[in-house]
Amino acid sequence: MAPLLPTIHDPSVLRQFDRAQLKQLADEVRTCVLDNVSRTGGHLSSNLGTVELTVALHHVFNTPHDRLVWDVGHQTYPHKILTGRRERMPTLRQLGGISGFPQRSESEYDTFGTAHSSTSISAALGMAMASKQKGEDRHAVAIIGDGALTAGMAFEALNNAGVCDCKLLVILNDNDMSISPPVGALNRYLAQLMSGNFYAAAKNVGKSVLRAAPPLFELAKRLEQHAKGMVVPATLFEQFGFNYVGPIDGHDLDSLVPTLENLKHLHGPQFLHVVTRKGQGYKLAEADPVAYHGPSKFDPAVGLVKPATAPKQTFTQVFGSWLCDMAAQDGRLVGITPAMREGSGLVEFEKRFPGRYYDVGIAEQHSVTFAAGLACEGLKPVVAIYSTFLQRAYDQLIHDVAIQNLPVVFALDRAGLVGADGATHAGAYDIAFLRCIPNMSVACPADEAECRRLLTTAYEQNHPVAVRYPRGAGAGVTPALTLEGLSFGKGEVRREGKRIAILAFGTLLYPALKAAEALDATVVNMRWAKPLDVELLLKVAATHDALVTVEEGAIMGGAGSAVLEALQAARIDRPVLQLGLPDRFIEHGDPARLLAGIGLDAAGIEQSIRSRFVQAA
């Protein structure tokens, strides 16, 4: 058979395909995903699991006129391949290449940017209601993963959508279970029957006839609910006002296509429950979907292999080790994560302390208030959360933790730029949005050893403290195995120089030290963005002509702004150069190249200082 994928430049072509061609196309898309991700790295298991669903959606719906909203967006590689970006897949998640998530600026088929979870139903409902208001005939489809339904926002949207008369279809991509062949065959038949016009018409006619006799009408409703409950899983989605269909096998195009066709012609909000398997079609990923969730480059014929030499310890690993050690010493410690056990380094903690480990699901708001409740009862919660995900729980951070001054430690992973995941996952704003909150403190460790010690310092406090650290490894400074902290709110001078003092917050201390060698500048490891070591700052300001602040965070409102505020309060007039993340979103790419591109490597720091102070002198 001749390959079909090279003929697909946009989805309109595959709408002419018959069922056999669609199956062949699905096989080719799956191979394309595997070939490209093995070369570039990226999300694999989730994308292998959505191949048939993606093919069916673009076959049935008139995209991009009909809107597809993916949630979470890391399952959209097949969608990208079928919407004109197949030839750009080798650039996936690389600087200047295509994103690993949907981006409106990248394609008209990416109708909504989705990288954080649980936003799709709200967005799709907005699109559906906008179409209705404008008199446009189009469908809006939200494809939401089962994990994303643990977030309250998804249920808020379901609650709103159930009372809206619009062309909205919500597809639950359930990849946490499997369907045995007999059940799959039965569900295929039932799904087609229950999504068809005959069932919908018969149900409505029966209700209209019996409505004149209320007791009979109530009996008919109960019988319908009972009968439906016998043949399909009981579901709360119909209580929200949706017509529920499923579950059906998400890898069976003979089931998917006719069911979607039927649902397309029904009125009101529809809910389709689709069961898929992570890693489908690649045995190694099927066997271990977690390991193949977001792999680096690998040989598909061999699979993932451990590197010959052990890689440097990451900040995440440092945190995981510290958490276990501190838990062994203090029985009050509890660890909390909003569905990021592996990413936040809690795997070993769960094994060793299962009764003190809480994965609350993709529910960042709940995780913070849950921690507050634990703290009220005398426990010591440690919330392991990505910097960018804490943004979603900002009100809870203020209202439930800070106002009550509760001793919750926030271990903020992925602070600063994150590389291939891009702007949606970059921890660019935590210093700015945390330091303005009363009772909050913010620690910025410069390396792995300091990270462990500052975590201990944070844990020793009787108020909320955040410790921010980047993705991956740092300078490679091996932490001591003790649980010794550092002085709260105090920095240190790392290099004595002349005229110019560089105040470094976090891991940019090391490129700052390198730049200082060329400039003979003083370097201060500030360690804390809040409380600022004002005593040290004023001492340095009194002995230097100019100050430079360096941080891997937003300049606006960041640690540099804290320095300016402190100098103004002390009525000290010194020129200050603020270096950090600019007032724009930094896209995906290699982290070192991204930092160099915005002048935050050693050469860039040196050049910025020379341009501002040395050449001017």
* Residues with catalytic function: 278, 364, 392
Q: Give the neighbor-by-neighbor strand order of the sheet with 522-525.
A: 492-495, 522-525, 500-505, 546-554, 576-581
d(CA 151, CA 122): 12
466 close to 445: Cβ distance less than 8 angstroms: no
79 close to 54: Cβ distance less than 8 angstroms: yes
Q: Where are the alpha helices (DSSP H) in 303-435?
A: 315-329, 347-352, 364-376, 387-390, 394-396, 430-435
> Coil, strand or helix: which one is 21?
helix
What phi and psi values does residue 11 have, to the nearest 5 degrees?
-65, -15
Q: Which residue has the tokens 């009909």?
A: 66
Write out the E strands in 95-167: 140-145
How is residue 393 annotated by DSSP?
G
> Coil, strand or helix: which one is 446?
coil
What residues contact 296, with CB distance under 8 A and at least 6 apart? 41
- Residue-wise burial string across 279-297, b where 16 or more C-beta atoms lie within 10 A, e elsewhere: bbbbebbbeebebbbbbee
Nearest residue to 68 via CA among 11, 22, 21, 27: 11
